[in-house]
Structure 1
Amino acid sequence: MKKRYLVSALLGSTLLLGACNQGDDGSKHHSDKKESSHKTEDKKSHKNDSSKSKNHSSNSNDDNSKSHKSKEQEQKFDKKQHIAMALFSPEADKYSITAKELLDGEYEAPQSGNSGNTKSVSNLTLTKDSSSVTNTPNNVTFYKTDPAKPDGVSLIGVSDKEIILFGAQSTFTYDEVRQQGKVLKIKDLEKKYGDEKNLDKVAKKINIADNNQQQTEDTNNTQTSEFYARVWMSVIKNSNVSGLTHKDVSEEPLNPYNKNATAKFPDGMQFLSADVTAAGQVYYTNNNDGTITVYSVPSHFQDKRWMEDDYSKSESERILNNGKVYKLVNSSDPDVKVLAKQFDEDGKADSSSQTSSSSSKGESKVTRDNVIDKVEDYEGHKLNTDKYTYKEPEKTEDGNWGFSYTDKAGTLRGSYKVDGNGNVTKYDEKGNEI
């Protein structure tokens, strides 16, 4: 009986241990499943986080790209700003008023014998120019500037890709302008001066004028003392003169000493002169666009070749075919006002003098232009320019005209005096009347 209880106890114990082991395995299996589930969730979570991170990075890049594009769009410059950039370049000083001069409010404007002369400037006005540069491409526009710093016309050429700076005294081809002027790439200008702090200040001082308005202003009142004064100051640049006169010389022979073998002045040719030859003279035509064309006509035709038909004809034609273009100074220039008054006064004096002379003797007034004629009439022949050198006639304080002459070695040989009535007196080298 005891054996039976012992066997039963052993069997029960064995069953109990088996159940326990089975329970442990189930628990382990359940734990493994739970851990596997957590790992799967972690992977999904990591995947989602990674995806979100990528999306965020992508969105961030897109935002940066948009911001960059927006910044580029904000950096677009207009025509005035591009021109202003060109005026900041060191090369601008040779051709135009510079950005610094616009900011300072003054620029150098040298006159004859006065290199330190300065003038005030508040704005730079650009007017379309279609006459100074030939063979210009359709995508390029040239503007003349007012004021113009160098002698002649300051030109600024503008296209989508380039700014061209140039100073013209006559007509040039587009290729010549590119070779002799300064060509500035707009991309380079933007890189160098796009962040210039005073760029907008200079750009605001640049005015692009309506061409029709400018032409109307410049073509009106061209036969006034003020306009003559503007011409004189544009070319001679000296207001310290006297005896200023004006004459319309249209269709007159350029060489008055060989009228049958010389070109004639074109219609509209005007002539300005002063009492003293050394003060200068101006033969010009008005271009009706704020500029004039000036011609280098000799004050006297002392070269004997002017009496030769072939030379006279070819040289006179050459002179008329090679005029130089000058930009007219502003009518507000103080020197213009001074000279205009002088033209008025001299004009009245000339008029009354000519009336008196014609009523008394029927002869023309003695002027710088006909002094040589009076002397040649007195001598009965042309002056001998092969043997002597004749000085330019000058008006003396007593109102008479006179000039001296030397031999080719420079030794004084004599002089002439012509009074207001045209009477000639000749003197030897010692000043004794002959």
Structure 2
Amino acid sequence: MRFLLMLCLLTLTLSACSQSQENPEEIVVERKNSSEQDKQVIDKKKDKDNESNKKADMKKDTKDKSKEKQSYENLTVNDIVAMALKEDSISDISITADDLLSGSFEHSAPSFTSVEQIDRLLLSPMDYHISPGLTKNQKIYSVSPPKTNAQSIIIIDEETNEIVITGTQQTLSYAEFREIGYVFNIKDLFDKYYDDDLEKISQKIVLTDEMTYEDYSKEDIIALAWLTYFYNDETIDSIPVDPTTPYLTYSDMSNKPLNPYNIDSTVALQEGTITIQAKILADGQVTFVDNKDGTFTYYNVPAHFQDQRWLDDDNYSLNESKRIINEAKVVPILKVPYDILRYYSNIVTPSEY
């Protein structure tokens, strides 16, 4: 029985081998067909992936162009000026982007040059009627600080989509401003300079008509305290553009004795107290505190303690000191246009004493 079973198995095996040897080409063809089918499936998948990648690239390209268009359309005056300042060619007449980022620039005068500190560039809007040929479609700004002794001017032309970096020591027409200055196409500047670094420069450019109190420098606040003390809403138009004193010096008087000649019989001035003096004492002295709420507090501290009682009479010194503190006046800060205020800010300097 076992012999018969083995014989049957052997017969079946020989039969299978015989069939395999008889049809080898059919097996090869079958395998080839299977391989080609697999290749077709793979190729179709590749084509599908390529098509998907193309669509993704097109979508990304469209998105990038849309983002670029949106960025261009949303350019601010600060952005446009910042891009123009990145042009090295303007360095002979204007502060550059590198100057702003480094914090200093070389001021050029006819007979000398000096290195000046800078932390921001101020743009003060000007009336377009000031220059023949300008219309309401051209925005003109006075720039501070200037690079040279000439007045630095920037004009943004909405009609031609251009920005003009120029300067003058006299009244010129728009055509003359363009002729002596540098003219740049804004779209060209955008394509060339719109990048991540632009924001750092834009933030250092301030439009004075958009300034808030937080934008004011220490010198601005001291100049404002000086003008608020001597002028009010009714007399603000009489503030001279050219200050009557060559400079204003200031001293931090925080916690110092009101009467420095009798420190045991006086009171201390509060934290934040500042005293401003004109070059000539006859031009005045102002002692104030910035209340950070739109007001200044003024103390009528004597410029000279000429009354001998300040020195010899302890009761007088103490009582007068208290009276000055108690009779301090709180005054709303005068809204001085910045194009006037800056003339006074420029003459503010720390006291050497």
Structure whose alpha-carbon radius of gyration is higher: 1
Give the structure, 1 or 2, with the largest relative contact order (CA under 8 Å, sep 6 or more). Answer: 2
Scaled by the length of structure 1, the TM-score of the pair is 0.40
